[in-house]
């Protein structure tokens, strides 16, 4: 199976001073076993994660699988 772009989230990345977690979305190129091949990018907004994953899909000519929800 060919590698693909995978977008997941929101994940809690860190805790604010107010005690609430900051949501983050992860974008990465994964292989057939769902293991990242290289860097895993953390985006602090859903919109930025969508833009990044779409750009990666177009540039690398891979399929995109979005497993993320807006926050």
* Cβ atoms of residues 14 and 5 within 8 Å: no
Please tell me the total count of domains within the chain.
1
* Cβ atoms of residues 68 and 17 within 8 Å: no
For residue 57, what are the domain limits?
Answer: 4-68
* Cβ atoms of residues 53 and 8 within 8 Å: no
In this prediction the pTM is 0.88
The pLDDT score that the predictor gives to residue 55 is 97
Please spell the DSSP secondary structure of 12-41, one letter per residue: EEEE-TTSPEEEEEEEEEE-TTS-EEEEEE
pLDDT in tens, 42-57: 999 999 999 999 999 9
């Amino acid at each position: 199976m060919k590698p693909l772009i995978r977008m997941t989230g929101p994940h809690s990345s860190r805790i604010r001073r107010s005690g609430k977690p900051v949501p983050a979305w992860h974008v990465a190129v994964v292989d057939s076993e769902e293991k990242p091949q290289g860097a895993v990018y953390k985006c602090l907004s859903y919109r930025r994660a969508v833009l990044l994953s779409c750009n990666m899909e177009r540039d690398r000519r891979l399929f995109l699988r979005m497993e993320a929800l807006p926050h």
